[in-house]
Structures are given as structure tokens and as C-alpha cells.
Amino acid sequence: MNDLAALGVSFGGFSLGSLQLALPMSALREVVSCTDVIDLPCPAKCVIGGISLRGMVIPVVDLRIVLDRPAPAKEGRNVVIVAHGDRMMGLLADRLNGIFEAVQGSFKPTSVSGTTPAVFLASAQRSDDKTMVSVLSTEALSRLHQVPMVEDQEPARRQLRDTADDHASADASIPMLLLACNDIPFAVEATVVHATLSNPAIELSELTGGRALNTIDYNGFKVPALDLLEFCGMGRVGLDTGIQALVVSLPAGYVAFVISAVVDVTRTYAVDVNKLPAFALPRPGLFVGSLPLSALPAELAGRAGKSVNQYLVIDAAALKACDETIAMSELNIAASSEATGPKALSVAASSESGRHSMITYMLETERASPLEQVLEILPYQPGTEIFRTDGAMLGFMVNRGRSIPVLCLGQLSGEACGPPTAASRVLLVESGGELIGFAVRKLNSIEKSDWEPVISTAAEHGGSPRRQQHKLALFGSRTADRMVPVLNLQEIADSLRRRSLQSAAFVVAQ
């Protein structure tokens, strides 16, 4: 076991309260929701009961009780099924934190006096987010006093698990997360999933439009939440029977994908995936093919349902590289005890000595606008620019059945910001019930201003000087602050609409 990190063994991370825990994937059997806990005739206080799993009752252990820590009851928990030898048990978990490998050299075994093996086997650093986790000993878990375990009745899965720690086998096999959106089965490489959340609270937000369902709290942030089924062009996930979420980590931030349920984690091989014709899928670029039930253990195939014969395999790389996913990852907002979402953050900030939530972006130089003025942020759609003129009007983009005029914000503000690129984003502003899109070179961040002075400057207008009011916003700290000019997008949108109405009235009058 001491050579786990050197062998390149992958781990499954999960949390329970403040405990950040992990187990080698060879010991992880599956993850199920902790519902309908059955009382068991067991004297061990750490056994909170059992769950029914395909004709078996799996004892569930709360490790906080084992470690003599407070164990408050909590809704929406998971159970991690752990196997040791030919026996299984369940561990209570608040959430799953994805599959990872340990940073080379960070796996540090612990030493505890006495003859009873310690549950805390080693510490390790995750290679993905660099956080430290505590690796559990399955041997110690199997020897907890008076804690029952049940027989593992799946020899095929047991054989696969026994060989998963072999280096050559680990290189060839792929950990695959099986999931469902309504009745549609999906699969995705488990390494792309940073965490899974059970029954997350979805909050209202005016920033995560398009396919976003709103935001979910995760790791101290308000994370944009996308409906995975709608993202794939196949409908919408039903919210009336409970939901789960997959959290994906990108360089700019997190994105959550709302699903109906996590089915299981299994190991597959690339040759098991069948190709699918592109015309048969609404967004074929998001899929690598399908995983037939014949490639799965018999028990897993039986759980898929009578109408299911394959899992649609999502391309993990394409999911993370999608423009919409990247754009949403840029909208992570630090959670606040004073707010319940991005809109609430803006309202709350306005009463804090002039501090406002602002969105900063690039034209030719950096600019900022009040966050509350922006209804949605969308990726710029190639082909939008249909007007070949030097004016600000670029063309139209289609979003949820509406044609939205898109204008170059740089041109409107007198800056040469160049043609739109893949990094460009469109800020949607509403004026008089109509949507207007302002294209910017790229998003920078969403942050609170520290100071917003209004200064006056002289400008030439019609041959005579005129006093103009220009607003600036201060961001940063005492050692690294910056002044950014503020553009009032609402005023610009209203002015454009008024100008259009006046032109129409002039034409009618003629």
C-alpha cells in the first residue's frame, strides 16, 4: 500500500463534514444516495443503519462517530460502497470530490502505536487542485469493532477491482462515470468530474442565461449550473424528483452540470466504445460514441432499465473545451453570507459605502460596467458579423428563439478593439423589453469596486468646451490597485433604442 502513489494508482475523493478523505479506486465499489436507512441490530454506535442495495442490506458507517467527532444529521447524503477482500460496507459521505492521482512524492504513510490498524493510512496531495487529503485504510475499516460487512456477490466486478491497481491495466482502462438525465443514460470519463453534489440548492441568477439553470454553491463560490440534457440538445432535466450535479474544474473556475442521478463508476476500455453517426445527435461534437451494455458487468447492465441498450459517451475534452462551458467558468462569484446569488450580490453591494459588483472586460483597454445591468453573458457566435461596414453594428445572433442585434462596444465607445475572436463575449442588456448585445474582446472578472469617484473633464463639442462626467472604479488592494473607466451599458442601450424610435418617427412623418 505504501507504493500506491509510485504505481500511479488513482484515488476517489469524498468529504464528510470537514474531513477530506480518499480511497484507492480498487476499493471503491460504487456510490449511492443515502435514503431510507434501515435500523440494524448492531451494537456499534458508528453504524447509523443500513441501505437496501439490490437485495442486500449494506451497513453504513459514519466515520465521524468512529473518530469521536460531532455527527449532526444532514439531508441529501451519499454512501460510498467500499470493498475489502470479498466483503463490503458503506461509508457516509456529504459529497464526492472526483477521481485523482497523488502528486509524486506526496503520499506519506502514517504510523500509529498499538496492534489495531489505524483508519488514517496516509496523507496525499491531489494532482488536480493541490489540496491535501487523508487516505483511508480498507484493512482498518474491515476490522472496526462489531461493524458488520456483507459478502461481495459480484465475482466479475471483484476480479476487475483486483487488477485495477496493476500499472499496465490502469493505463489501458478508463474509469467511466455512468449517469442518467431523466431516462437518457450518459457516460463520461470520471477524471473530468471534480466533484458530485447530491440534491444541490439551485439559486436564481440573472447572469447564467442561455442553457444555465442558475447557480449552485460549491467550494465558496456561486457556480453557474448548466442543464446537461439541454446542453446536449435533448430536452431538460426534470427537477421534481430530485437532482444531482457534476462539478467540472476549468482554469477560469468551476461549472456544474445538473443531472438526474449518478448510476455507478466502472472501468472500461477505449475499444468498448462504438462510433455513432453524427447526424443522429443534436450536438455530435460533444460525443465520442456509445458504450453498449454488453461491455459492462451483468449487474450494471441490469440496472440500466429495459429500454436502455447503451450509454451515450460524452467527450470529456470537448465538454471542457466548449465555448459555452469556458464562458460559464468565467462567471464564478465568491459566495457571500449577505447574498443569495449574483443579483443579490449587486443589490447588497450598493449599500456598502459605494462598493458595487462590477463586471470587467477588455475592449482596446480594460472597462467595467455594473453587474446588475447585464442579463446574460454568451459566447460570440461566429458568422454574426453580416454587416461589412465600419460602423458598430455587427449583425444578429440567435438565442432561445430570439434574434438579438449585436454591436461592437469598442466602436460605440470610440476604441479600436479589432474583430471578434473565439475569446469574445456578448453582454446582453434589456431596454424597453428588447435585448441588445454588446460584443467585448474578452471577460476579465466579476469583482467589487473599492471606490467610484466621478470626475469632470473638458471636451470639445460643436466648437465650444463642455463639461463631461466620467465615472471610474477602483479595484484591487493598496499594493496592487487599478482605476478602470466605467461604461453605463443601460444608458447606451436606452440611447440606441430612443435613436431608433426617433428615426422611425421621422420616416413616418415624411
- Burial letters 287-302, b for 16+ CB under 10 A, else e: bbbbbebebbbeebee
- Burial letters 454-466, b for 16+ CB under 10 A, else e: eeeeeeeeeeeee
501: CB partners within 8 A, 6+ apart: none
- Cα gap 196→493, rounded to integer Å: 40
Give the range among 133-142, 230-239, 335-344, 351-360 with minimum mean pLDDT.
Answer: 335-344
Give the pLDDT band (50/70/90) at residue 311.
very high
Specify the higher pLDDT residue, 331 or 102: 102
Instruction: Please state the φ and ψ torsions of residue 125, each to the nearest 5 degrees.
Output: -105, 130
- Cα gap 95→34, rounded to integer Å: 11
Mean pLDDT, all residues of the chain: 77
Give the pLDDT band (50/70/90) at residue 348.
very low
Q: Is the pTM of this model over 0.85?
A: no
Grid coordinates representing 131 are: 489540496
Three-state secondary structure call for residue 66: helix
Q: For residue 47, what is the enclosing H or E element?
A: strand 47-53
> What pLDDT is attached to residue 61?
94
In this structure, whether the domain defined by 173-325 belongs to CATH 1.20.210.10 is answered with no
176-201 pLDDT, tens digit per residue, is 888 999 889 999 998 888 888 877 88
Grid coordinates representing 424 are: 469574445
Grid coordinates representing 180 are: 442518467
7-45 pLDDT, tens digit per residue, is 457 888 898 988 999 998 878 877 777 778 899 999 999
From the list 412, 422, 405, 385, the residue with the least C-alpha distance to 487 is: 412
> What pLDDT is attached to residue 507?
39
420-449 pLDDT, tens digit per residue, is 887 888 999 998 888 999 999 888 877 777
Q: How much is the average pLDDT of 453-462?
A: 41
What are the start-end ranges of the H helices in 304-341? 316-321, 323-329
114: CB partners within 8 A, 6+ apart: none
Q: What is the CATH number of domain 10-159?
A: 2.40.50.180
- Cα gap 398→508, rounded to integer Å: 29
477-496 pLDDT, tens digit per residue, is 444 567 788 899 999 999 88
From the list 450, 448, 389, the residue with the least C-alpha distance to 419 is: 389
Tell whether the model's pLDDT for residue 211 goes beyond 50: no
Which DSSP symbol is given to 258?
Answer: E
Up-side HSE of residue 472: CA atoms within 13 Å toward CB?
11
Three-state secondary structure call for residue 34: coil
Q: What is the CATH number of domain 352-504?
A: 2.40.50.180
Q: How much is the average pLDDT of 273-292?
A: 90
Three-point CA angle 290, 296, 302, nearest 5°: 105
Q: How much is the average pLDDT of 80-95?
A: 89
Specify the higher pLDDT residue, 355 or 56: 56
Q: For residue 272, what is the enclosing H or E element?
A: none
385-398 pLDDT, tens digit per residue, is 766 566 788 888 88
- Cα gap 297→135, rounded to integer Å: 28
Domain(s) labelled CATH 2.40.50.180 in the chain stretch across 10-159, 173-325, 352-504
